[in-house]
Amino acid sequence: MSIRHTDYDALDAVAMADLVARREVHPGDLLDHALERVAALNPRLNAVVNLQEAVARRHIAEGLPAGALRGVPFLLKDLGCEAIEFPCNNGSRLLAVQRYPRDSAIYLKIREAGLVTFGRTTSPEGGIGPASEAAVYGAPTRNPWDLERTPGGSSGGAAAAVGAGIVPAAHGSDGGGSVRIPASCCGLFGFKATRARFPDGPYAGEGWAGMAIDGFLTRSVRDTAVLADACAGADLGAPYWAPPLRASHVDAISRPPPRLRVALCDTTFTGDPIDPEIRDAVHDAARLLESLGHRVEPAGPQADTLGMMQAWTKIVACGTAFAVRRALRGRPLQPDDLEGVARGAVAYAETVSGADYVEALGRIHAYGRELAAFFTEHDILLTATLAELPAKIGRFAHDTEDYVGYRTGPGMVFAYSPFTAAFNASGQPAASVPLAWSRSGLPIGLHLAARFGDDETLMALCAELEAARPWFARRPPLVGRAARDAV
């Protein structure tokens, strides 16, 4: 039995896997639909790269693992998640078409879940920035809700692909909001788990001093819950791992969470105002939480967020410089190897001494302790995900070499996204939930964070909000046109 394009768009990953398990649809048919969507939509979105259709069809023919998402088409971010059969550009001309001698631990778990990976999705060079406009892809990646706007970064291609209905779920990663920012831009659910919930090895001991973690972009909370359960766990020899779950993410969403103490912050953590339309969405989400019986009160963390941001900037620059040095293999850096922001990051890293790096890491850890103290009085912190609507294409282009200005200058990355990096620094679980849309029809993500290790409570709360205000059926106009054209 085959399915129509309209049926494909109405299914999340769990529903697709259920049809495969009942033999009502074949994995090859689902792959056909995904590839047809790529052909129809990717010329406008520029989200999917490094297609490996032959690999995907061979995996289907050889027999897929009997995992929870067997037969569902899937895409990897073009940064990390190293896999022998899926070359990776890392968003960079210098690192283009890298091949790997062994599979990463996170990819092996994705394979074991039964997913049918058939390509990768775009990211900015080195994962730096809230937009996906890397030169290696020839053009910017665009938002399916508005082609003149970015789908976010660094998992921007993943968000565009899921938002446009090419796949129901895709791999991403988050080192400063790189899952949650694109989720907000594209009307999706984006969950950043507690630090070290997923494996990093063997290609990395940790990402950005422990601030980066793998994740997923999905249209339903249950898809993320199933993916998280499938991929959770430390790899062999991991330097540390997350506190064990009480049961599972899927078990957590099977019942409502306890009634929670929710702190409402409608400014940035440094007290700056956010866009009034975004602020109104935060208050609307607070009223929704109150209607569900949660206790909401105004509060915000009294933590050194500016100091954390400065430390974060140093650590990411050093991580970028290390990756570049390893790729150069001793040869001098050439002008065309990197885009401006990455060149600036490498230059800035040269001014950071070993002592400076250790001090920056200490600041990050101190910030985590400051946030942990705040969460002794509150179970959840509610903010916006972004301080404004999704940015226009070009605003966060990588042509400047002023790396520090790009990150922390007026109107730049931290002004646009002042909330998400805090929880990479602290390691706490945090999520962007698509509870609102602007008057112009653009998605607005609301951001929720919980105390370290309490992923299950946060996931359960997100599922409760999804049930109270469903978002799954909200689709970009681009998707409706593509489905009608394909019928």
- Catalytic residues, by residue number, are 77, 154, 178
Q: Is 228 helix (H, G, I), strand (E, B) or coil?
A: helix
C-alpha to C-alpha distance for 88 and 95, rounded to whole angstroms: 8
- CA dist 166 → 13, 28, 152, 158, 264 (Å): 12, 15, 17, 10, 35
C-alpha to C-alpha distance for 473 and 181, rounded to whole angstroms: 21
C-alpha to C-alpha distance for 181 and 134, rounded to whole angstroms: 17
> Are residues 476 and 144 in contact, defined by beta-carbon separation less than 8 angstroms?
yes
> Are residues 414 and 408 in contact, defined by beta-carbon separation less than 8 angstroms?
yes
> Are residues 398 and 125 in contact, defined by beta-carbon separation less than 8 angstroms?
yes
Listed in sequence order, the residues at least 6 apart from 332 whose beta carbon sits closer than 8 Å to its beta carbon are none
Please give the sequence-ordered ranges of beta strands (E in DSSP) within 184-250, or none if there are none: 189-192, 213-218
102: how many CB neighbours lie within 10 A of its CB?
Answer: 12
Q: Is 397 helix (H, G, I), strand (E, B) or coil?
A: coil
C-alpha to C-alpha distance for 222 and 169, rounded to whole angstroms: 11
C-alpha to C-alpha distance for 249 and 35, rounded to whole angstroms: 30
Q: H/E element holding 434?
A: strand 430-437
Under DSSP, the state recorded for 273 is B
Q: Which amino acid is at 417?
A: S
